[in-house]
Amino acid sequence: MKPADGWTAKPATARLVLSDGTVIEGHGLGAVGTATGEVCFNTAITGYEEILTDPSYAGQIITFTFPHIGNTGTNEDDVETVNMDAIKAARGVIIRADITNPSNYRATRHLDEWLKQRGIIGLCGIDTRALTALIREKGMPNAVIAHNESAEFDLDALKAEAKAWAGLEGMDLAKEVTTDKTYEWKETVWQWDEGYSESQSGERHVVALDFGVKRNILRLLVNAGCKVTVVPATTSPEEVLALKPDGIFLSNGPGDPAATGVYAVPTIQKLLETDTPIFGICLGHQMLALALGAKTLKMHQGHHGANHPVHDHTTGKVEITSMNHGFAVDAATLPENVEETHVSLFDGTNCGLAVKGKPVFSVQYHPEASPGPQDSHYLFDRFVKHIDNH
């Protein structure tokens, strides 16, 4: 694949090498070095900093379909990663146009500098439309992204590395992004001219199992009137229940839900026996489904973007949602006591479930990401009502 028009004069200091041997040349950005991952595309036109710091993207290289990424710069407020010491979220980023200087009053740093600081390798100047079409046709490929200012690459070694990478199927990445200690989260949502504040109270105690949780999910739980305690992904059901939760939250996260489910599903099954209200998002949704007896499957191209329409069967409404997942719950395997509550209007895949007669539900998409902008915030209120009724 050739560089995009207008980039022939720039030095080709970066390569994207796919597992089938395809080599794509571009201009390097961000960190120098190499990284392996699964290449996906994201259709969002805003929120690139949140996307690049979402732990759910661990193990992936993100191609943005919107050509102008970086024009509003970066700041310290929009980072979604809670565990800053864990492995970085996205392993690489691919964009069409070169990064312009920031043009937003909240910007504190140029995106290129920010990528360097976080150790994320970037590549620009390629035809991202062609790469997106390739992913649509052939699925999300494994690849190596490489940046070298000297423009010298051992392509045979990079091809071998891309071909040898096992991919995300069977990979448990939650252990790499989860917290290593229990802590209380108090920060509330961002307010204009005020930023973030803290809540010192919460009538309902929610224990959040952290499989790669995003900050804004925790903020919305606090805003809904919850005292939030975050625990590591491997926390036992006995340890969770010892905290005396009024509700349990299963967070988003990266990797194969079946792999993470090896240790998480037995915990969730034990928690289900207590009838404590449970709410899951993304990976948490998938693992709740596994705990209930359903199965998950790897998607062809996944859902990554901020413009995904979802039909809520419980309200009859259509929500514009933010999505980031390469695995999905197989709706055909849901047991009789589980209701499918939400479906994607793009492809009909499962996007939500609820256990009949129990205060237990989950969704595949990200209600905290606000693409609607607040189409899905009712889910946090629904969780709180379950807690109050229980």
Same domain, 311 and 180: yes
> pTM for the whole thing?
0.96
Per-residue pLDDT at 291 = 98
The pLDDT tens digits of the residues spanning 29-80 come to 999 999 999 999 999 999 999 999 999 999 999 999 999 999 999 999 999 9
Same domain, 344 and 226: yes
Per-residue pLDDT at 254 = 97
265 C-beta neighbours (distance < 10 Å), count: 18
Q: Per-residue confidence at 201, pLDDT binned at 50, 70, 90? A: confident
Same domain, 283 and 309: yes
Is the omega angle on the peptide bond into residue 373 within 30 degrees of 0, that is, cis?
A: yes
Same domain, 194 and 125: no
Per-residue pLDDT at 84 = 61
Q: Long-range contacts for 333-337 (Cβ within 8 Å, ≥24 apart)?
A: 333/293, 333/294, 333/295, 334/289, 334/292, 334/294, 335/292, 335/293, 335/294, 337/292
Residue 155 lies in a domain: yes
Per-residue pLDDT at 328 = 98
Task: Report the C-alpha gap between 148 and 29 in whole angstroms.
Answer: 10
Same domain, 63 and 108: yes
- As given in the structure block, the two tokens for residue 79 are 């980072």
Same domain, 154 and 179: no
Question: Residue 318 half-sphere exposure, CB side, CA atoms within 13 Å?
Answer: 7
Mean pLDDT score, 302-318: 95
Residue 102 lies in a domain: yes
Same domain, 178 and 318: yes
Task: Report the C-alpha gap between 66 and 127 in whole angstroms.
Answer: 11
Q: Per-residue confidence at 6, pLDDT binned at 50, 70, 90? A: low
| End residue of a domain, out of 164, 199, 234 | 164
Residue 311 is a catalytic residue: no
Mean pLDDT over the full length of the chain: 94
Residue 305 lies in a domain: yes
% of the chain beyond a pLDDT of 70: 96
pLDDT at 10 over 90: no
Residue among 303, 325, 366, 386 flagged as catalytic? 366
Residue 4 lies in a domain: no
Same domain, 118 and 185: no
Asked if residue 264 lies in contact with residue 335, where contact means CB atoms within 8 angstroms, the answer is no
Residue among 25, 319, 368, 386 flagged as catalytic? 368
Query: What are the distances in angstroms from CA 260 to CA 70, 206, 232?
Result: 33, 22, 13
Residue among 50, 282, 342, 351 flagged as catalytic? 282
Same domain, 195 and 48: no
Same domain, 89 and 39: yes
The 3-state secondary structure of 89-138, one letter per residue: CCCEEEECCCCCCCCCCCCCECHHHHHHHHCCEEEECECHHHHHHHHHHH
CATH number for the domain including 179? 3.40.50.880
Residue 53 lies in a domain: yes
| End residue of a domain, out of 141, 164, 187 | 164
Same domain, 157 and 187: no
- The residue ranking higher by pLDDT, 307 or 249, is 249
Residue 351 is a catalytic residue: no
Residue 345 lies in a domain: yes
Residue 226 lies in a domain: yes
Same domain, 192 and 109: no
338 C-beta neighbours (distance < 10 Å), count: 22
CATH number for the domain including 128? 3.50.30.20
Number of domains in the chain: 2
- Tell me the one-letter amino acid at 148: N
The pLDDT tens digits of the residues spanning 261-302 come to 999 999 999 999 999 999 999 999 999 999 999 999 999 999
Residue 368 is a catalytic residue: yes
Per-residue pLDDT at 82 = 86
Per-residue pLDDT at 2 = 54
The pLDDT tens digits of the residues spanning 133-161 come to 999 999 999 999 999 999 999 999 999 99
Note down the domain range covering 182. Answer: 174-389
